[in-house]
Structure 1
Amino acid sequence: MLHLDPLSAAEISQTSTIIRASSKSEVKFNSITLLEPPKAEYVAFRDAGGPRPTRRSLSIVIPRGTQQVVEVTVNLVSQKVESWREIKDVMPILTLEDLDVVEKISRVDPQVIKACNELGITDMSKVFFDGWAIGVDERWGFERRLQQALAYYRTSPLDNQYAHPLDFTVIADTEREEILSVDIRTVNGERTPVSMKEHNYLPEFAETNQYKFDVLKPISITQPQGVSFKMSGREIHWANLKMHIGFNYREGLVLSDIRMRDPYDSSNKDRKIFNRLSVVEMFVPYGSPKSPHHKKHAFDIGEYGSGFMANSLKLGCDCKGVIQYLDAVLNTSTGAPLLIENAICIHEEDNGLLYKHTDFRDGRVISARDRKLVISQILTAANYEYAFYHTFTLDGTYKLEVKLTGMLNTYCLHESEESAPFGTEIADRLDAQNHQHIFSLRVDPEIDGSNNSVIQSDAVPADIPAEQNPYGNGFMAKKTTFKTAKDGAASYCHETSRTWDIVNPNIVSAVSKKPVGYKIVNSQCPALLAKPDSVIAKRGSFAQKSLWVLPYRDYELFPAGDYVCQSTGDHHPENLTISDWVARDEPIENTDIVCYVQFGLTHFPRTEDFPIMPAEPVSVMLRASNFFEKNPALWVPPSELDEDSSSTNANSGIGRDRVQGKSTLGSKL
């Protein structure tokens, strides 16, 4: 699986050395990552013993002091530059190093200092600036690599800055390290004073938080015999499941070659399920039309990179139990390798009931516990944290759950203003604006082979003659096979409990007489609320549908474009988006396809979300649908036969005795 492994530290250094030797000027390394081999080349090697794919890196570099963007492909075998391609009118990801620039230059800029002095702030070391990509600003084009910054104040080094937002934003040129504008928002011609009331949550403020240490008893998670999975390099084997675990600066976690062994298939072969799974975009449009909020619509993956923002996870805090960690190696702007320790967490969890039945005639109970394999990463995007949990259960289900936590983005309220209707006053004179979080999961299916189709399924009343449905109770699944890419642009329908089946039409289940498949179950998919003709909707056009189905093409990955920063959503021949791909309206039936599944939430902030937000989960699921001939988890021993399934009764006053497979209540009841 070496051909899918992320670049090593040595390969990153090797790449940067080769590029510097080939460049006529000094370059800044925006990103250095593995260039995965073309799919056909990789499949020929994997399935037919073809030539081993050549290992290549892809780098995005910026010649120092310019706004020019260059894509460089390096052959790591021949150690030569294979391609050097300049791209015009695009801007690459803002790295954490880039985002640090605006805070550094803002604190010493005379315009910024003046704006702070007018609010009574004279100590600039207490002013902090969250760098953001710029959503909409017509004053500059691609001659400037822009970012905006939201300003906050801290009364002490550990104070919560989001309790003290300032009434101005800063626009900066990242490469020239220059402040271009300080945009002050006035209300009725007046500045908005800084709220100095503190709202803290750190343990250093324990008296304020009133921690209760005697309420909750410890929970210990133990696996005395160790974990049930095995790692072979970056490939994991668990139960009947196998897959490769990758990582890159933009998508973060990438799962590839996902396959499962059917325990009842006498051939004992691995069956292919998905070629590749990853989260390729995360769109956070804010819903207040008041300045500066109209410029706040973050593409956290396309503008900052899920990998670049990854946390170094801590045992017992971010992951609990018996943990396997994987590190990530990225790059700095100088081309040096950058290690993120424990970027990926792998562990098992109990997942409740797998199956159960009680025979009411004889009281015999049969039940088994489910388990899930969890592969996770957590990232920090300025104020928000996003925890991504890719989970697999024993019945072959895949679920992506995202937990949103961290801090609300706040803004100061003038005494004459109200938050409503575009936000909530979550503390005195603090406004948290309405916003959405829309994630895009890219699914490259391989259901028993590369030729797949998508069938839309709607639950509808039976449309048949009355004599065939005399009591009117009949209902059925209306099936619609998508033929072309425009057909495959679909929205969720609550009234019909809409789902979508990814099927292999060439292989039919011997039992159900239906094609083998996996079902997309996605009811948490809010509609994009920005008006369709707005620049926000154009830039995030992928969020206008719950599902897109397209023919597979190598290196068409990112639905908002390869270069999202400062994009307009208009057609760009070298920065195509999902709108461009769909416009080709190519066939998507019984061919190699890829699906983009959008899910998320619309967030109307609550006072309970402040000063730190309780984790709010959203998820999407893909479940086997006629893929197996029967429940693939029946190999799991029932709990009564499982030596490790013992539990302790918390209530000593209630006794439960097993009598010939029955569970009887004790006499004290």
Structure 2
Amino acid sequence: MAMQESVITKVDHPLEPLREEEILKAVAILKEKKSLTPASRFEQLGLHEPPKKAVLNFKKGDPIQREAFAIVVDTTDSKTYEAVISITNEEVLSWQHIPGVQPSFLFEEYTELEETVKKSPEFHAALKKRGIDNPELVMVDPWSVGDTGIPEDKGKRLAKALCFVRKFPDDNAYAYPLTGLLPVVDLAKMEIVRIEDHGVKPIAPTAAAYKPEQDENIEVRTDLKPLVITQPEGPSFEINGHNIKWQKWDIRVGYTAREGLVLNTVDYYDKGKKRPVLYRAAMSEMTVPYGDTNPAHNWQCAFDAGEYGIGQLANSLTRGCDCLGEIQYLDAVMATSQGGIHKIPNAICIHEEDVGIAWKHTDWRTDEVEVRRSRRLVVSFFTTVANYDYGFFWYFYTDGKIEHEAKLTGVLNVGAIEEGQTTRYAAEVAPQIAAPIHQHIFNYRIDMNVDGQKNSVEEWNTVASKPDPENNPRLNAFYHETTTFQTELEAKRNMNLETGRSWRIINPNSKNYVGQPVGYSLIPGENALPFLNEESSVMKRVGYIKNHLHVTKYDRDQIYASGKYPNQSTGEEKGSLEHWVKANRNIENEDIVVWYNMSVHHIVRPEDWPVMPVHHIGFQLKPHGFFDGNPALDLPRPTEETGASCHHK
């Protein structure tokens, strides 16, 4: 009973992530009620989010029923189970076997796989063929196998390993790939199933260190002066639990082992009332297909969220290194596979940034100047998935705009090539080191809530007017045509530069000052389409990447574009976004979800080696008719460093 009371009194909102004591309590309940053995591993255990209606109707002081959702894999037979546990009432509400699926990698399996491979006599023999006598210098990374097409692999929980070798213990092993040496491991039994060996390739001849102390050719710059960001009066935001209030924004953040950072119930205060903008937003999947035909690479396609869990791989951020200024952090707390606590201190960084001019006008007749400076609230986290590092940043602006930016850096996935060898499918980035052409396709699930749950999506296409002596005599006219999507299949759309295509999420039941539906526009940034063949095993698994936009009717269980279990999927499971839209539900004036794909098309450069400069890609959610005018008119005049106001004649 004491645990129940502490849970209820400590949590002040139904979307607060599970605390450590709640996770341990949920694990204990499930272990006891279902007689779990040490062979049962928790792939994830986190908050079972309450129904949307319960959240939106919640009032401070209302009783909160706390529930956990868990995915459990039995390593004795690789069977997968889903559970919902009532922490408040100390009971298991549901326990269901999910046949024919494999959960994502467990955090502990990364080290267990490496240890298993490096102890194998068969692997040692393969190393000796390559002139390597010390397995301790070898590094082994687990990779998802996808659909191998091998009948004997069916039902097994598998991973394929990429292998590298260091020249010394602290070396950059990714610079020396053992290309073509691919152990396949049964993760349940933690034993090698087979070693795929496509022949000995040369080890790269040149060093590729990125630490100055390891490369005498790196001379650290000495002419950078300190850049100090100070806020003597402290930041302008307030944090209470996972609720952030900044300027007119009211934001609640969550966190999951699979998605990492989640935005919940984002509202904006306007004219004395709180107006909802979105209910939930997060990256639902990141698909990374490789285009190299080499058998060492032609199977590679990572689902970084659904197969690896970007949330569980997040970094602990450091002040002055990852974030500058007046910083506040939130920890991320998850369950380990054994049911303990996996805590990442300082996983979420929250701070403000100056971002230049918000608006400005100079009256050239009077020389009167009015200028306001813009700033944004930044909520971010960084994660490391083997060789790659990804940052995910949500920006909130003083003019009501929301922006998302993904930042890609880290070390490329590379392979060794023979001296003088060339291939159209990879770029040589260093002597005898080639990086395959590939893409990073990010899918975002954006549950909009523009002035309420009943929303629609419009598509805007700009067209040139036809020649008309009366209405278009100078042939200069152009205008936009508006289409409101009515069904899910109708809303499978791609960008179109020829028509300046854009999409606007509106509430037809709420009108602005001029009598138009209030709305937010989705503004795409950099993007591309996939180049995979329709019949490829990868495309059969990720058909939703064919379109930049999807719109679905809200379904509480449809959270991940790739489905709940993309690991070792074949595409036949029909539990993904591509299949959900075939229901062709009505999406006009309904509770809807917008899904957006953005793609980094990476034709690799030598400048991306040995560690990649950050690549930025993103999109905006921009108010379009949501406000009656410029919402940043009320920003205070800035003050010059001399003390005078930036307002003069």
Q: TM-score range by the shorter chain?
A: over 0.9
Shift of 1:519: 0.2
Pair 1:620-2:619 in alignment? yes
In 1: Cα distance, 2:192 partner to 2:267 partner: 52
Q: Report the counterpart of residue 444 of structure 2 in structure 1.
A: 441
Supply the AA of the counterpart residue of 2:648.
Answer: G
Does the 8 A contact of 1:235 with 1:245 survive in 2?
A: yes
Q: Report the counterpart of residue 128 of structure 2 in structure 1.
A: 117
Shift of 1:99: 2.0
DSSP 3-state at the match of 2:108: helix
Q: Report the counterpart of residue 7 of structure 2 in structure 1.
A: none
DSSP 3-state at the match of 2:596: strand
Shift of 1:647: 7.4
In 1: Cα distance, 2:549 partner to 2:112 partner: 38
Shift of 1:181: 1.6
Q: Report the counterpart of residue 4 of structure 2 in structure 1.
A: none
Shift of 1:96: 2.5
Supply the AA of the counterpart residue of 1:160.
Answer: N
Does the 8 A contact of 2:369 with 2:647 survive in 1?
A: no
Q: Report the counterpart of residue 667 of structure 1 in structure 2.
A: none
Does the 8 A contact of 1:41 with 1:53 survive in 2?
A: no
In 1: Cα distance, 2:497 partner to 2:537 partner: 28
Greater displacement, 136-145 / 162-171:
136-145
Q: Report the counterpart of residue 661 of structure 1 in structure 2.
A: 648
Shift of 1:533: 2.4
DSSP 3-state at the match of 1:37: coil
1:380-459 equivalences in 2 (<5 Å)? 380-415=384-419, 417-418=421-422, 420-459=423-462
In 2: Cα distance, 1:504 partner to 1:253 partner: 27
Shift of 1:415: 3.3
In 2: Cα distance, 1:373 partner to 1:183 partner: 49
Q: Report the counterpart of residue 29 of structure 1 in structure 2.
A: 42
Q: Report the counterpart of residue 172 of structure 1 in structure 2.
A: 185
Q: Would the alpha carbon gap of residues 660 and 313 (structure 1) be closer, same or farther in structure 2, given more than 3 Å must change? A: closer
Greater displacement, 176-185 / 94-103:
94-103
Aligned mate of 1:241, from 238, 249, 261: 249
Does the 8 A contact of 1:44 with 1:50 survive in 2?
A: no
1:215-614 equivalences in 2 (<5 Å)? 215-262=223-270, 265=271, 268-415=272-419, 417-418=421-422, 420-463=423-466, 465-511=468-514, 513-572=515-574, 576-614=575-613
In 2: Cα distance, 1:132 partner to 1:68 partner: 20
Pair 1:4-2:6 in alignment? no
In 2: Cα distance, 1:317 partner to 1:170 partner: 37
In 2: Cα distance, 1:376 partner to 1:276 partner: 16
Does the 8 A contact of 2:487 with 2:587 survive in 1?
A: yes
DSSP 3-state at the match of 1:209: coil
Does the 8 A contact of 2:637 with 2:645 survive in 1?
A: no
Supply the AA of the counterpart residue of 2:350.
Answer: I
Counting aligned pairs with the same residue, the percent is: 35
In 2: Cα distance, 1:626 partner to 1:340 partner: 40
Pair 1:144-2:156 in alignment? yes
Supply the AA of the counterpart residue of 1:542.
Answer: Y
Supply the AA of the counterpart residue of 1:390.
Answer: W
DSSP 3-state at the match of 1:143: coil
DSSP 3-state at the match of 2:590: coil
Does the 8 A contact of 2:389 with 2:408 survive in 1?
A: yes
In 2: Cα distance, 1:142 partner to 1:391 partner: 44
Q: Would the alpha carbon gap of residues 427 and 660 (structure 1) be closer, same or farther in structure 2, given more than 3 Å must change? A: closer
Gaps of 5+ in 2: 1-11
Shift of 1:248: 1.1
In 2: Cα distance, 1:131 partner to 1:69 partner: 20
Deviation digits for residues 200-229 of structure 1, max 9, x if unmatched? 01243252321122x211100000100000
How many residue pairs match? The answer is 634
In 2: Cα distance, 1:57 partner to 1:236 partner: 24
Greater displacement, 58-67 / 587-596:
58-67
Pair 1:107-2:107 in alignment? no
Aligned mate of 2:25, from 3, 9, 14: 14
Supply the AA of the counterpart residue of 2:229.
Answer: I
DSSP 3-state at the match of 2:580: helix
Deviation digits for residues 284-325 of structure 1, max 9, x if unmatched? 111112212121110100111121111010110001111010
Shift of 1:86: 0.4
DSSP 3-state at the match of 2:539: helix
Could you tell me the TM-score, scaled by structure 2's length? 0.95
Shift of 1:638: 2.4
Shift of 1:148: 0.8
Shift of 1:660: 8.5
DSSP 3-state at the match of 1:155: coil
DSSP 3-state at the match of 2:492: coil
In 2: Cα distance, 1:389 partner to 1:383 partner: 20
DSSP 3-state at the match of 2:261: strand
Shift of 1:495: 1.2
1:184-203 equivalences in 2 (<5 Å)? 184-186=197-199, 191-203=200-212
Supply the AA of the counterpart residue of 1:272.
Answer: P
In 1: Cα distance, 2:36 partner to 2:457 partner: 49
In 1: Cα distance, 2:583 partner to 2:459 partner: 21
Shift of 1:117: 0.2
In 1: Cα distance, 2:281 partner to 2:13 partner: 18
Deviation digits for residues 499-534 of structure 1, max 9, x if unmatched? 1000001122222x3210000000322111111222
Does the 8 A contact of 2:371 with 2:647 survive in 1?
A: no
Pair 1:76-2:94 in alignment? no
Q: Would the alpha carbon gap of residues 252 and 658 (structure 1) be closer, same or farther in structure 2, given more than 3 Å must change? A: closer
Q: Would the alpha carbon gap of residues 192 and 91 (structure 1) be closer, same or farther in structure 2, given more than 3 Å must change? A: same
DSSP 3-state at the match of 2:298: helix
Q: Would the alpha carbon gap of residues 327 and 25 (structure 1) be closer, same or farther in structure 2, given more than 3 Å must change? A: closer
1:31-70 equivalences in 2 (<5 Å)? 31-46=44-59, 52-70=63-81
In 2: Cα distance, 1:423 partner to 1:646 partner: 52
Does the 8 A contact of 2:353 with 2:378 survive in 1?
A: yes
Does the 8 A contact of 2:107 with 2:337 survive in 1?
A: no
DSSP 3-state at the match of 1:399: strand
Pair 1:205-2:211 in alignment? no
In 2: Cα distance, 1:452 partner to 1:158 partner: 54
Does the 8 A contact of 1:90 with 1:142 survive in 2?
A: no
Shift of 1:182: 1.3
Does the 8 A contact of 1:260 with 1:270 survive in 2?
A: yes
Shift of 1:52: 4.2
In 1: Cα distance, 2:154 partner to 2:214 partner: 45
Shift of 1:103: 0.9
